[in-house]
Structure 1
Amino acid sequence: MPGVSYPRSWRTVLILLALAAVAAGCATRPMGEGPRVEERGAGAEPPPLLRDDVPAADLAPISPLLRAQAEQWRGVPYRLGGNDRQGIDCSAFVQVTFQSRLGIQVPRTTDELARQGRRVGRDELRAGDLVFFKTGFRQRHVGIYMGGDRFLHASTSRGVMTSSLNNVYWRRHYWKARRLDLDERPSAVSLSDESR
């Protein structure tokens, strides 16, 4: 075809593919995939933010802090690279939560978070543990375990919310969990995020 430069168009395609791969790094589902099973249930009613039937054994001192964060940030939209209420991605939400609620600095990216603390089995999860998912070939997602098989995260399609680890989608993509040392956190971090 006259006027078409194949080397330039191949370069453009490669650049676009590289950008798409980088943009999908924190996606909760592979790009182009339709709504998850979790999001299209009968009645299209969103799942409850938190369950009231969390067993007492799953409650921890960090639980009220995570519940307050969930209530305060619920519905904030997902935005890749975002780190505020205008839009936030999954790893930034973890970073903001640990900083504002626990006074603990954690890394900004999912890959860095996946190397923090120590690995724990799914049957050993405690509130405050980080849960990780492999949602595509190079895509990773992170959330904060809350107890009762629920975790708090920034979903690409519904923003900040809680989800069940027993959901078909999340159970299939579950990768691992890491426990950070929370024993050194300040003992009195405000439940009301006054800085926001």
Structure 2
Amino acid sequence: MIKGHLFRKIAVVGISAVIGFTSLSLGHAPKAEAAKVTTASKVISIGDNYLGVKYKLGAKSGISTAFDCSSFTQYVFKKAGISLPRTSAAQAKKGKAVSRKNLKKGDLVFFSTPSSGKRVGHVGIYAGNNKILHTYGKGGVKFTSLGNSYWNSHYLSAKRVL
């Protein structure tokens, strides 16, 4: 009888600890907001695994041996369960517009390039702390400061797809 009582007490304490831990880890954020934060962090974490993978203009969808900017964002978001179109211009038509001052981790950020004129020619993922995760030119997939003179002057817009 004592063993049964002790077992029930341990089980109740264990379940309470799990419930309490879950409540503490989520804080007071609504479930939907907590899920967005988790998905955004997942997107950055997935992308981080490909740091240094070479850049190749026109890289094929679904491969991870080389990326161009939009095949990278498409690949990373797909791994996180979000479907995106193949090109940066098509990706710029998805989601909800976000002002630069309201960027959140996981937002897509769009830029012009010399070959695109004033239209979308490049996409990256806002990684927080004024950094973007993207691939372009030498060095392949990397984090770059959004304050970098080139990217700062070629910034066009951002979209939230999460």
| TM-score, length of structure 1 as denominator length | 0.58
Q: Which residue of 2 aligns with 1:141?
A: 122
Q: What is the alpha-carbon distance in structure 2 between the residues aligned to residue 70 and residue 105 of structure 1?
A: 15
Higher relative contact order (Cα pairs below 8 Å, separated by 6+ residues): 1
Tell whether the 8 Å contact from 2:57 to 2:68 is kept in structure 1 after alignment. yes
Task: Note if 1:68 corresponds to 2:49.
Answer: no
Match 2:104 to one of 119, 126, 142: 126
What is the CA deviation profile of residues 115-161 of structure 1, one whole-angstrom value per residue up to 9, with x for unaligned ones? Answer: 11121110010111100011225261100111111111111221001
What is the 5 A alignment of 1:172-187?
A: 172-180=153-161, 182=162
Which 4+ runs in 1 deviate beyond 4 A? none
Structure 1, unaligned stretches of length 5 or more? Answer: 1-59, 183-196
Q: What amino acid does structure 1 have at the position aligned with 2:64?
A: R
Unaligned runs of 5+ in 2: 1-36
Please point out which of 131, 137, 145 is paired with 1:156: 137
Distance 1:170 1:153 in 2: 11
Matched residue, 2:68:
89
CA distance in 2, matches of 1:108, 1:154: 15
- The 3-state SS of whatever aligns with 1:136 is coil
**For the structure 1 residues 85 and 137, does the alpha-carbon distance in structure 2 shift closer, same or farther, using more than 3 Å as the test?**
closer
Matched residue, 2:82: 104
**Whole-Å Cα distance in 2 between the matches of residues 178 and 161 of structure 1?**
20
Alpha-carbon offset, residue 85 of structure 1? 2.7
Distance 2:138 2:39 in 1: 27
User: Would you tell me which structure has more helix in proportion to its own residues?
Assistant: 2
Provide the C-alpha distance between the structure 2 equivalents of 1:64 and 1:121, rounded to a whole number of angstroms.
20
Q: Secondary structure at the match of 2:49?
A: helix
Name the % identity: 40
From 117, 120, 129, the counterpart of 2:95: 117
Distance in structure 1 (CA, Å) of the matches to 2:44 and 2:89: 25
Q: State the alpha-carbon separation in 2 of the partners of residues 89 and 135 from structure 1.
A: 13
Is the 8 Å Cα contact of residues 107 and 158 (structure 2) preserved in structure 1? yes
String of CA shifts for 1:163-186, please: whole Å, max 9, x gaps. 111111111111111111x2xxxx
**Distance in 2 (alpha carbons) for counterparts of 1:143 and 1:63:** 13
Change (3 A) 1:162 1:81: same
**How far has the Cα of 1:63 moved from its partner?**
4.5
Residue correspondence of structure 1 range 8-87 to structure 2 within 5 A: 60-82=37-59, 83=61, 84-87=63-66
Q: Is the Cα contact below 8 Å between 2:96 and 2:160 reproduced in 1?
A: yes
Instruction: Identify the residue that residue 7 of structure 1 maps to in structure 2.
Output: none
Larger of the two Rg values belongs to structure: 2
